[in-house]
Every structure is written in structure tokens, then in C-alpha cells.
Amino acid sequence: MNLFHPKLLNSFKGYNGALLSKDILAGITVGVVALPLAMAFAIASGLKPEAGIFTAIIAGGLISVLGGSRVQIGGPAGAFIVIVYGIVDHYGIANLLLATAMSGVFLFLMGLFRLGTLIRFIPVAVIIGFTNGIAVLIGLSQVKEFFGLQITKMPAEFFQAIQTLYAAADTVNSTALMLSMGSLVLLISWRAFQKHLGYLSHIPGTVIATASATIVTGVFNLPVATIGSRFGGIPSGLPSFEWIPISWGTAQFVIAPAITLALLGAIESLLCARIADGLIHDRHESNQELMAQGVANVVSPFFGGMPATGTIARTVTNIQSGASTPIAGIVHSITLLVIILFGAPLAKDIPLASLAAILIFVAWNMGEWKKFADLKQFRLPYRLTMLSVFFLTIILDLTVAIQVGLLLAFITFIYRISSLSRYELASAADFPELEQHRGYVAAFRIYGAIFFGAVKILERIENELPSKVLVLDLKNVIYIDVSSMDALLELEEVCKNQGIKLIVCGLAHQPYEMAVRGGLLERLPVDSIYPDLHHGITAAISDNAN
């Protein structure tokens, strides 16, 4: 049971009526905020608006009940739009549901095997690159509705999408454009002056923009696409459980998309949880959060839901509204359920142009554009990694972008760590006795980590061998890997073949354990191992004198 311990179980210590009131009010606020966003994310992903709402209700509730964060709000997220749209376009909605459930299994296993902390090792350059790339693609996907263009279906690929938008440029709906522009201006203005609005400042701009655009569209019967005209409205109730057809023949085609969904969901949820930790001065349980995300993504598709993860905007809103426990997230799901049970008919007049403006606003705010403006202050490898991931995300695929980004980051890391590893010849100033034995005895100090990327250090020492005794000081070596141990064994063999005695000094901790496991200590005589360089050089000079 220690492996599965939701934060909710620890939230009732010292809990009282005042905290409950704050959680309820925060949950209601976030529920109202989540409604237009959930619908917008679903529509932009090529799904019906109710798919987003059902996901926010079911997956959002499960994430709050089972999660490892006290205040994180789960549900459909903008980061998934591009991936989900591509899956729907290539594999169909049925296979999206299967891929979502499979991603849930992967997420649960990641948490079960304690892999949550590994997600933190993904470099910031990779995260910024794909986040900004996704933001661009979200904005591009909303151009059609923002301008009211007459396009039957938007392609998932970047260049085809650009070509399609260009071909339909002369079909702009001026009414839809005015409505979307008005919504965008309202969103920006509300954000800019929200602090000066008194009590109204608690109402999110997305709710104001959606409500205003809906009222204007309904009152004036504007000739624009709405949820009612496009989808026939939203159902006033939750869907029934429906089994997803599962077969190996189908599953094997969506393994790659499922892994992408799981990886992206893990990154988004844990990134969101870390942001929440900084705001509430708490620490989330990353592995528990992944298991909760896994359960939510396994269950949600059986009720027509889409992929879910932690959502930064709604989580921050939840915290700012006074939430302190997962109760607020549960109330957020109940609020959405009540809204669709009693207010579903009101959604039919929500214009898609207004939702497009909201998504463009969300995309702009989710991107870290300042990092691009400050690129000059970063090193070339950092810039190369960030820009590669950014452009590959836009042009090719998020999976390819992350793979290339991690590869570049991996190469950069190896290069930098290997550059920190070095060796130097022990000087006569430190050991005057070496001067009399120059050419016969050589002592080298090695610093840093000796791993496969720094094996060249041992190869260079091999080219500088003395004629009688070689002393290696490993006191300042913090790590040795298998490749480097093999290289040390090869150096020992070379010394043996040339009649040179090898003395090793300063082995401690991990290098010592590696020397034992690699068999180096078995191959060296007892009088070839010393605790420090001073004793090693003394023994070497004595051997040479003899």
C-alpha cells in the first residue's frame, strides 16, 4: 500500500469548515473556467466538444482523488491537441480511445516502477522547444475558425495545413473574424486590467469572452459556426460505459502514439505539479501522480474521453482561488457535471470563432517566447537543441522532435562532462624525488569522471608510459564506468607486456567498487595499491632503485 498513497489521504489533518469553503469556491471557479477550455481542446483535436467535458469530469475527478499533488487539476490539455488530431486523422477515433487507454497503462507502470523522478532529467531546452512548437501548431490549427474559412477538413501535416489555409484565404467570414477579434481583445484587456476590477477580478477572462460571444451570437443570430450548428449541441448527461474493442492487430499500430501520449502526459503533469509546489510551498509525489494519471487515462476512454494530464492554467487558477486540498479538484468535476446536466442547451450558441480566440490566447501564453528572444545568452549546444526541437515539432512530429532533442542533449552532456575530466603529470615541485627518476617513473593525477566519453584520458597516458613504474592517482576520480574499467585493464595489460609496474593510488567509494567488480584489484599485486599518491611514489622510486 506504500506504493499507492494518494495525497487526499493526508489532506484531512487539521481540515476545517473554513478550508472546506475555500476548496468548494475554488472548485466551482475552476469548473467554470474548465468548461470552455475543455470544449475548445476537444474541438481543436478533431473530436466533439463533449469529449473534452467528459474527460474533465471523469479523468479530472480521478486525478484529484488518486493524485500525488494537493492542488493539481487534471483534464484535457492544449499540449495534446496536435498529437490527438494526428491520431484521429491517421487512425480514427476508435483507435484514439485505444491509444489513450494504452498510454494510461504506460503511465501507471512508470509510476509503479518509480520512474517519476526520471522525467525531471529531461533538459529545459527540450521542454521549451516542444512547448513553443506545440503552441505554434495550436495557433495554426485555429486559423480556420478564427477567420471563418470554408475548409471541410484541416490536414494534420504542417505544410499541407499551410497550403490548405492559403487556398481558402478568399473565403474569410467577416462576421466570424470580428467576433474572434473581439473575443481576443476582451481576453487581453481582461488579463491586463483584471487586478483593477474588484470582485469581478475573480471571474476568468475565458468565461467572460465565451459568455459575451454566445450572447451576441444568439441575440443577433449571427451567421457563424456554433457548437449547435456544427455538433448539434452537447448531451445533458454522462455517456454510458462502452467497451473498447481491443486486439493485438489493432494495438500494435497505436503503440507509438500511445507512448507519445504517455511521455507527453508525464512531462506535462509533473511540470505542472512542480509549478504548483512552488506556489503552495509543498512537494508532490511524482510517482503517485503518474499512477493517478494512468488510472484516469485508462478509465476515461471507456466513457468517450480523450487523453488527460495536469493542466497548468487551471491548476494556477485553483491555487489563486484558495484551494488547499484535492477536494477542490473533486468539486471542479462535480461543477462541470452539474453544468452539463442543467445547462447543456445553452451551449449550442457558443461560436467556434470565440473558442478559436481562446485557444490562440492559450497558445500564446503557454509558449516561453522570451527564451527565444534571449537565445544569444545561451551556449550554442543549448540553442541548437531548443531550435531543433521547436522546428521538428512543427514540421515533422513531436516524437521525432523529443528523440532528436534528447539525443542532442545527451551528446552535449557527454562532451561537457568529458571536458571536465582531465589528467596531469605529478610535478617535481610537489615531489622533488621524481626528478632523479625522470623517464623511469611517471605519476599522473586524474580528475573528474572516467566514462566512455573520457576514455581518451587513459589512451593518452598509454602514449606517455615510463620505462619502469607508472603511478595513477585516482583520488579525485568520482566515477568509473564499465568502458573505462576495460580501458584500465587494457592499460594494465600493456604495462605488464612492456615490463612496467602499475601502481594505483587513492581508490575510494564507487571507483573502488568498480575496481573490485572489474577484477583490477585481483590482477594487481598487493604492493601496487596505495591509499594516496605520496605512498605510491615512494614505493615506485623504491622499486626503480632496486
What's the pLDDT at 148?
94
For 23, half-sphere exposure in the C-beta direction (CA atoms, 13 angstrom radius) is 24
What's the pLDDT at 382?
87
**pLDDT above 60 (res 1):** no
pLDDT interval class at 40 (50, 70, 90)? very high
Bridge partners of 442? 470
* d(C-alpha 419, C-alpha 99), whole Å: 43
Q: What is the pLDDT of residues 469-503, one digit of tens each?
A: 999 999 999 999 999 999 999 999 999 999 999 99
User: For the chain, what percent of residues have pLDDT higher than 70?
Assistant: 99
* d(C-alpha 180, C-alpha 147), whole Å: 8
Asked if residue 388 lies in contact with residue 130, where contact means CB atoms within 8 angstroms, the answer is no
Distance of CA 87 to the CA centre of its chain: 20
pLDDT interval class at 418 (50, 70, 90)? confident
Q: What is the pLDDT of residues 186-211, one digit of tens each?
A: 999 988 887 777 767 767 788 889 99
**pLDDT above 90 (res 237):** no
pLDDT interval class at 32 (50, 70, 90)? confident
What's the pLDDT at 179?
96
Mean pLDDT, residues 326-336 taken together: 96
Domain 422-545: top CATH class: alpha beta
Residues 6+ apart with CB under 8 A from 60: 34, 73, 74, 75, 296, 308, 329, 332, 333, 336
- Reading the block at residue 372, the C-alpha cell is 527565444
Q: What is the mean pLDDT of the chain?
A: 90
- Reading the block at residue 162, the C-alpha cell is 499551410
Asked if residue 352 lies in contact with residue 154, where contact means CB atoms within 8 angstroms, the answer is no
Mean pLDDT, residues 202-223 taken together: 89
Q: What is the pLDDT of residues 284-293, one digit of tens each?
A: 999 999 999 9
- Reading the block at residue 53, the C-alpha cell is 467535458
Of 15-29, 180-194, 315-329, 427-441, least confident by mean pLDDT is 427-441
More confident residue, 275 or 7: 7
SS3 call for 446 = strand
Of 179-183, 247-251, 436-440, 456-460, least confident by mean pLDDT is 247-251
Q: What is the pLDDT of residues 346-396, one digit of tens each?
A: 888 899 999 999 989 988 888 888 888 888 888 888 889 999 999 999 998
User: For the chain, what percent of residues have pLDDT higher than 90?
Assistant: 57
Per the rule left: phi > 0, alpha: psi between -120 and 50, beta: everything else, 509 is left
What's the pLDDT at 343?
86
What's the pLDDT at 153?
85
Distance of CA 546 to the CA centre of its chain: 63
Residues 6+ apart with CB under 8 A from 449: 417, 420, 421, 477, 478, 479, 480
What's the pLDDT at 66?
96
Domain ranges of the chain: 17-367, 385-419, 422-545
Q: Has this prediction a pTM greater than 0.75? A: yes
Largest CA distance in the chain: 106
Print the SS3 string covering 49-109: HHHHHHHHHHHHHHHHHHCCCCCCCEECCHHHHHHHHHHHHHHCHHHHHHHHHHHHHHHHH
Asked if residue 68 lies in contact with residue 285, where contact means CB atoms within 8 angstroms, the answer is yes
Mean pLDDT, residues 252-257 taken together: 89
**pLDDT above 90 (res 223):** yes
pLDDT interval class at 312 (50, 70, 90)? confident
What's the pLDDT at 111?
94
What's the pLDDT at 524?
92
Q: What is the pLDDT of residues 131-143, one digit of tens each?
A: 899 889 989 999 9
More confident residue, 255 or 398: 255
Q: What is the pLDDT of residues 136-163, one digit of tens each?
A: 998 999 999 999 999 988 888 899 999 9
**469-480 and 501-505 beta bridge pairing:** parallel
Q: What is the pLDDT of residues 17-30, one digit of tens each?
A: 999 999 999 999 89
What's the pLDDT at 414?
86
Asked if residue 74 lies in contact with residue 66, where contact means CB atoms within 8 angstroms, the answer is no
Mean pLDDT, residues 164-190 taken together: 95
What's the pLDDT at 2?
63
